[in-house]
Amino acid sequence: MSDHVESIPREKLEDVPVSANGAASSSAAHPSTAPAHRRHRRPVLLALVLLSALAVLIGGASFYRYAGRHESTDDAFIQADVVTVGPKVASIVTTVRVVDNQQVKAGDLLAELDPRDFDAKLAQARANLAAAEAEAIRARADSRRYDQLLRERGISQQDRDNALAKDRTAVAQTAQLQAAVRQAELDLSYTKLYAPAAGRITRKSVEPGNYVQIGQTLFSIVAQPVWVVANFKETQLTHIRPGQPVDIRVDAYPDTAFRGRVDSIQAGSGAAFSLLPPENATGNYVKVVQRVPVKILLDGPPDPAHVLGPGMSVVPTVQVK
C-alpha cells in the first residue's frame, strides 16, 4: 500500500481524500467515477432548461395572440331600468298583494287603498252633473220659447238674449261637471296600484294600515331585460364595434359563462357626464386615460336560476378580431 501511495505525485497528494485509517479513498483510486455522473446530468439539465424556455415562449406567444384579439375590463356592472311605483292619491293602504323579490307581470295588482272617500266624491260629482243637466234642459227649452216669442214680438230682444246666455251657461256648467265626474272616477281608480312593467319587486316599503302620500315610493320594480355597462379605457376602443361577441363573467356566478354582444358606445367619456366634470382649462394639467361606457346586451332570455340585478360586478371580454 505504501508503494501505491508513493506513486501519486506530491502536488496531487493534497487533493486525495483520506479515510479515517489514513488510506486513500476509492474515488482517488478511480478518478473517473465522479466526473462521469456530472457528465450524465448536464444533458438532462440542459434539456429541462430548453423545455422550460420553449414552454414560456409558446405561452407568451399564445397570450400575446389572445390579448391582441380581445379587450377586457373589470370596471363593468349590470344595469337595468328601475321603475318606482307610488300612489296618485293620498289614503290608507288596505291590501298589499306582493312581497320582496317577487316576479310580477305588467298589469298585476300590487296594492289597494281605502276607496270610501273617493266613492263618496264620485257620487257627489255625479249628482251635481245630473242637476246641471236638468238645468241645461230647462235653459234650452226657455231659449227656444223666447225665440218664438221674439218672432211674435211678445218679448224684447234683451229678454231673448238673457235666455240664450242662460242656455249657454248651463251647457258650459254641464261640461265642467262632466270633467269633475271623470276626475272623480280617475281618483277612485288610483286606489288600486298596478305594475307598470314586468320585473322583480325590490325595496318594498309599505304595509297594510300605512297612510301614504301622493308620489311616495312604495315599490321599485327592476324591469327586464338587464344589460352590462363596461367602462373601457379609451385606448381599448380602437377595434371595438357594435355587434361584436362578448364573453361575460359575473362575480356572483364564477362557474357560469354568459354570452352577449356590443350594443353601442357612449358618445363621450364618463367623466364628461358626471355631476362635476373636470375643468382641464385651469390649473396644472395631467393627462389621465379616460374611460368610456360601452353598452353590452346579454343573449337569450333571463335565466331564473341566475338572478342578475343592477350594480352586480362583471368582467366582459370583447372579441375584437
pLDDT of residue 286: 84
Give 154-168 pLDDT, tens digit per residue. 667 776 767 777 778
26 — pLDDT class (breaks 50, 70, 90): very low
Give 209-223 pLDDT, tens digit per residue. 999 999 999 999 999
Give 128-144 pLDDT, tens digit per residue. 999 888 888 877 777 77
| Half-sphere exposure for 63 (CA within 13 Å, toward CB) | 6
pLDDT of residue 12: 46
Q: Determine the Cα–Cα distance for residues 241 and 222; give it in Å rounded to an integer.
A: 28
Give 73-93 pLDDT, tens digit per residue. 999 999 999 999 999 999 999
The CATH classification number of 71-80+224-319 equals: 2.40.30.170
Percent of the chain past pLDDT 70, that is, above it, reads 79
pLDDT of residue 161: 67
pLDDT of residue 43: 75
Element (H, E) at 315: strand 313-319
Supply 149's cell numbers.
Answer: 216669442
Instruction: Report how far apart the first and last C-alpha atoms of the chain are (Å, whole number).
Output: 81
User: Which listed CATH number (1.10.10.10, 3.40.50.300, 3.30.420.40, 1.10.287.470) goes with 115-190?
Assistant: 1.10.287.470
Q: Look up the pTM and report it.
A: 0.69
Question: Do 110 and 97 meet the contact criterion of CB atoms below 8 Å apart?
Answer: yes
46 — pLDDT class (breaks 50, 70, 90): confident
Give 161-217 pLDDT, tens digit per residue. 677 777 788 888 889 899 999 999 999 999 999 999 999 999 999 999 999 999 999
Question: Do 221 and 83 meet the contact criterion of CB atoms below 8 Å apart?
Answer: yes
Q: Determine the Cα–Cα distance for residues 182 and 132; give it in Å rounded to an integer.
A: 15
The CA angle 132-138-140, to the nearest 5 degrees, is 100
Give 86-117 pLDDT, tens digit per residue. 999 999 999 999 999 999 999 999 999 999 99
pLDDT of residue 20: 45
Q: At what angle do helices 157-189 and 116-151 cross, to 10 degrees?
A: 160
For 164-277, strand residue ranges (E) read 192-194, 199-202, 211-212, 219-223, 227-233, 245-250, 253-265
pLDDT surpasses 70 at 321? yes
Domain with CATH 2.40.30.170 in the chain: 71-80+224-319
- CB atoms under 10 Å from CB of 158, counted, come to 8
Question: Do 253 and 307 meet the contact criterion of CB atoms below 8 Å apart?
Answer: no
Domain with CATH 1.10.287.470 in the chain: 115-190
